[in-house]
A and B are shown apart, each in its own frame.
Chain A
């Protein structure tokens, strides 16, 4: 049976020391990570990037969205086919809130765009913009204010996912600084590279028959976590008289099966923009128009995987549909004509 070990007071002291040290180190690590993260995600960098644009007035179109948009919609083709310069700010973790804040910053530093392309995402209402990215707009994580509180006992555990992403972002920023000095191609951060990027040629898709069982995912319902920013964006765009093109890039067939409520999601989007006269919704996740079962057209996607991205080949295929549609929209609203209408 259980016996009390000899020298138990030492063990009790050690346990107390462990618990106290754990909380102290936890707070210290949390604050250190916050500071470091805030330092690498400086607002000034984004401001410098936008203020430093050459021939700023020419950037009349703006592309916003997540990584799906980053891989699917390319300013290079828009410039080549329509003769319009477009600025793309789309990558992983940039949700609606980021789009909203960025749009306002863009208006302030570059000017109101005449057309905005927004890449739709099945999870856009339920997805939270990554906390480190929001620091670019001077928005800190709400958890910071709790850093000195006693609960939760371990902030590093309570904010595990956000901390992990913060470390990842720190590495990304370090890589970016390193790559800049080495002249590496970086379409996510360098304007010139963003403008010449035309897609990723690597396809990681493994073709396999449809399994009998795999996770199927409902779309994130409005308002979700960031749906209010979609409403705010629509209001801003309406007030600014901006032409809005909401695009859903194709999903790989296996991801289509996983995201089984695509039709309902698009219906909800169409309903949201029903009162917006300058909004157009374009859905390319349609196997009758785009060959969604061709693995080479996608970088990734699988049964049970709710996300997929186009490959470079897929982009070329999409362009055959998307560019003519875009030309029609631009002609209809007269937004592909220059010189610009603003100073």
Chain B
């Protein structure tokens, strides 16, 4: 049951309708049952992992709340250790075992290892991060440990979010889930609008670009400008795929009267790589900031006792260590492959270089008088960031370092006649996407849209639906982030 399938939407219709028809005190039972049915539809065995981790973290957090000192710290360790151990066993053990055997092969000539054939519970990366953030927040006394096991289980398994986020914090979700909500047409229509927009991004843009990107990445050893567009289109594809999923998830939550956090904020308009990370997968980047980057940086700064080390200020060292480690782990979180780690490290390098060269870049801007033309300056920065991020996506999409290197080696600007019609068509689709997002972004500056009668808007929506139906892709491609 995937988000772009008819059984899923029949399921959602039933869930939302009955949700509002039943009294508030039973709604959590209904949503929890629906979430477990939904998750179990992928493989009944993965329910055991979900239920086991939920029960463990619930119990340990309750115990931790009443404990203090060393016992409290030990409980925290267990509380975050158990979910992380499950993540490592199910997702990374095969990678680490292969790396270990490869090392043994090089050093003492042992046999190379085959990857394990292990069942990976879908969405485990996402709900493990929810559990860890909950445990740490309880430990830090930011939130109380949830007493109601049902609401806690619902927080972990909530079906619109379990497969690929957003990674919502318990402190945001639980109060909303407990608040009685009544049926509102505006919530439903807002939810439907978001779902439709998400499906457009997924089925019309992401899945269509996937053909072009797939072909280009499959045989990159043909020198051509298509490789350049392949990288750009992969950026747009993964953006539409993931943000489309987030829109659908948010839309569903809105229909249920909840307000989940925003996960994407037009990342292709980022003016720097650090700006990109405030716009891309926002719930993950804020999670990484709060639970990894800040603690790592704090520890690193404490270890560097002096103000300067090798002529560099201690805070820069702290930032660099924190950023590189966080980004490497962020890369690893995306998948059990070293190319993902390299992708994370590359982003880390971008961030560190950006921070350490900010003054020099400002001086350069002044020297070439770019600061007198702020719009041009903004465009240059957006274009530069877009290219840097696209370059990193090549590593993310490549199946191996050799694949990524071949891609980069053959990349050129000259476009051959082959594949031109598809390129132009895909560019037109991307232009439509950016155009529609421009209107969304600048709604406040377009008051005329608010004066349009609702009947005319309905006609516009009908046109949108038919256009989306005409240009959507029939093939059922799973969402890219489901595999993470």
Determine if B418 and A21 form an interchain contact, defined as CB atoms under 8 angstroms apart.
Answer: no
Q: Which residues of A contact B434 (CB under 8 A)?
A: none
Which chain B residue has the least Cβ–Cβ distance from A170? B421
10 additional contacts (CB under 8 A) given A21-B462, A22-B462, A202-B218: A1-B183, A3-B183, A21-B459, A25-B462, A29-B469, A160-B474, A164-B473, A175-B421, A178-B420, A179-B418
Decide if B461 is an interface residue (CB 8 Å cutoff).
yes
Residues of A bordering B, CB below 8 Å: 1-3, 5, 10-11, 13-15, 17-19, 21-22, 25-26, 29, 33, 154, 156-157, 160-161, 163-164, 167, 171-172, 174-175, 178-179, 182, 184, 202, 204, 209
Determine if B463 and A21 form an interchain contact, defined as CB atoms under 8 angstroms apart.
Answer: yes
- Contact of A18 (CB < 8 Å), options: B418, B459, B473: B459
CA–CA, A312 and B38, complex, Å: 46
Determine if B419 and A175 form an interchain contact, defined as CB atoms under 8 angstroms apart.
Answer: yes
Determine if A15 and B422 form an interchain contact, defined as CB atoms under 8 angstroms apart.
Answer: no
Which chain B residue has the least Cβ–Cβ distance from A183? B417
CA–CA, A106 and B471, complex, Å: 35
Decide if B470 is an interface residue (CB 8 Å cutoff).
yes
CA–CA, A184 and B417, complex, Å: 7
- Contact of B470 (CB < 8 Å), options: A15, A22, A29, A184: A29
Which chain B residue has the least Cβ–Cβ distance from A175? B421
Determine if A3 and B182 form an interchain contact, defined as CB atoms under 8 angstroms apart.
Answer: yes
Determine if B469 and A160 form an interchain contact, defined as CB atoms under 8 angstroms apart.
Answer: yes
Least CB distance from A28 to B in Å reads 8
Decide if B309 is an interface residue (CB 8 Å cutoff).
no
Q: Which residues of A contact B459 (CB under 8 A)?
A: 17-18, 21
Least CB distance from B400 to A in Å reads 12
CA–CA, A141 and B182, complex, Å: 49
Which residues of chain B from 141 to 199 have any CB-CB distance to chain A below 8 Å in the complex? 182-185
- Contact of A33 (CB < 8 Å), options: B21, B114, B425, B470: B470
Least CB distance from A48 to B in Å reads 21
A15 and B458 in contact, given A5-B185, A156-B469, A204-B219 (Cβ under 8 angstroms): yes
Decide if B455 is an interface residue (CB 8 Å cutoff).
yes
- Contact of B458 (CB < 8 Å), options: A3, A5, A21, A156: A21
Determine if A204 and B20 form an interchain contact, defined as CB atoms under 8 angstroms apart.
Answer: no
Q: Counting chain B CB atoms within 10 Å of each CB, which of A13, A26, A29, A175 scores highest?
A: A175
A164 and B474 in contact, given A25-B466, A171-B421 (Cβ under 8 angstroms): yes
Report the 4 A-B pairs with minimum CB-CB distance, sorted nearest first.
Answer: A21-B462, A175-B421, A182-B417, A18-B458
Determine if A13 and B455 form an interchain contact, defined as CB atoms under 8 angstroms apart.
Answer: yes
CA–CA, A5 and B182, complex, Å: 12
Decide if B305 is an interface residue (CB 8 Å cutoff).
no
Q: B387-421 toward A: CB 8 Å interface, digit per residue (1/0)?
A: 00000000000000000000000000000111111
Q: Counting chain B CB atoms within 10 Å of each CB, which of A19, A161, A179 scores highest?
A: A179
Which residues of chain B from 414 to 439 have any CB-CB distance to chain A below 8 Å in the complex? 416-422, 425
Q: Which residues of B contact A14 (CB under 8 A)?
A: 454-455, 457-458
Decide if B77 is an interface residue (CB 8 Å cutoff).
no
Q: Which residues of B contact A13 (CB under 8 A)?
A: 454-455
Q: Which residues of A contact B471 (CB under 8 A)?
A: 167
Determine if A163 and B470 form an interchain contact, defined as CB atoms under 8 angstroms apart.
Answer: yes
Determine if B417 and A178 form an interchain contact, defined as CB atoms under 8 angstroms apart.
Answer: yes
A17 and B417 in contact, given A3-B183, A171-B422 (Cβ under 8 angstroms): no
- 8 A-B pairs, CB-CB below 8 angstroms? A1-B182, A2-B20, A22-B465, A164-B474, A175-B420, A178-B417, A179-B420, A184-B418
Determine if A18 and B462 form an interchain contact, defined as CB atoms under 8 angstroms apart.
Answer: yes
Q: Which residues of A contact B466 (CB under 8 A)?
A: 22, 25-26, 29, 156
Least CB distance from B182 to A in Å reads 7
Least CB distance from A188 to B in Å reads 12
Which chain B residue has the least Cβ–Cβ distance from A24? B462
Which chain A residue has the least Cβ–Cβ distance from B219? A202
Q: Which residues of B contact A26 (CB under 8 A)?
A: 466, 469
CA–CA, A5 and B467, complex, Å: 30
A18 and B461 in contact, given A10-B454, A171-B422, A175-B420 (Cβ under 8 angstroms): yes
A25 and B463 in contact, given A14-B458, A204-B219 (Cβ under 8 angstroms): yes
CA–CA, A262 and B461, complex, Å: 49
- Contact of A204 (CB < 8 Å), options: B182, B218, B416, B465: B218
Which chain A residue has the least Cβ–Cβ distance from B422? A171
Determine if B183 and A2 form an interchain contact, defined as CB atoms under 8 angstroms apart.
Answer: yes
Least CB distance from A40 to B in Å reads 11
- Contact of A161 (CB < 8 Å), options: B182, B218, B474: B474
Q: Counting chain B CB atoms within 10 Å of each CB, which of A22, A33, A184 scores highest?
A: A22
CA–CA, A104 and B237, complex, Å: 45
Least CB distance from A25 to B in Å reads 4
Q: Which residues of B contact A164 (CB under 8 A)?
A: 473-474
Q: Which residues of A contact B462 (CB under 8 A)?
A: 17-19, 21-22, 25
Q: Which residues of B contact A174 (CB under 8 A)?
A: 421
- Contact of B469 (CB < 8 Å), options: A2, A154, A161, A172: A154
Q: Which residues of B contact A2 (CB under 8 A)?
A: 20-21, 183
CA–CA, A1 and B416, complex, Å: 62
Q: Counting chain A CB atoms within 10 Å of each CB, which of B218, B417, B462, B466 scores highest?
A: B466
Least CB distance from A170 to B in Å reads 9
Q: Which residues of B contact A209 (CB under 8 A)?
A: 114
Q: Which residues of B contact A175 (CB under 8 A)?
A: 418-422
CA–CA, A29 and B461, complex, Å: 15
CA–CA, A14 and B182, complex, Å: 23
CA–CA, A209 and B219, complex, Å: 23
Determine if B422 and A11 form an interchain contact, defined as CB atoms under 8 angstroms apart.
Answer: no
CA–CA, A204 and B403, complex, Å: 13
Which chain B residue has the least Cβ–Cβ distance from A165? B474
Which chain A residue has the least Cβ–Cβ distance from B420? A178
Which chain B residue has the least Cβ–Cβ distance from A13? B455
Least CB distance from B78 to A in Å reads 36
Least CB distance from B373 to A in Å reads 38
Which chain B residue has the least Cβ–Cβ distance from A181? B417
Q: Which residues of A contact B419 (CB under 8 A)?
A: 175
Least CB distance from B193 to A in Å reads 12
Q: Which residues of B contact A202 (CB under 8 A)?
A: 218-219
Least CB distance from B427 to A in Å reads 13
CA–CA, A187 and B95, complex, Å: 44
Least CB distance from B103 to A in Å reads 24
Determine if B470 and A17 form an interchain contact, defined as CB atoms under 8 angstroms apart.
Answer: no
Which chain A residue has the least Cβ–Cβ distance from B421? A175
- Contact of A171 (CB < 8 Å), options: B425, B455, B473: B425
Q: Which residues of A contact B461 (CB under 8 A)?
A: 18
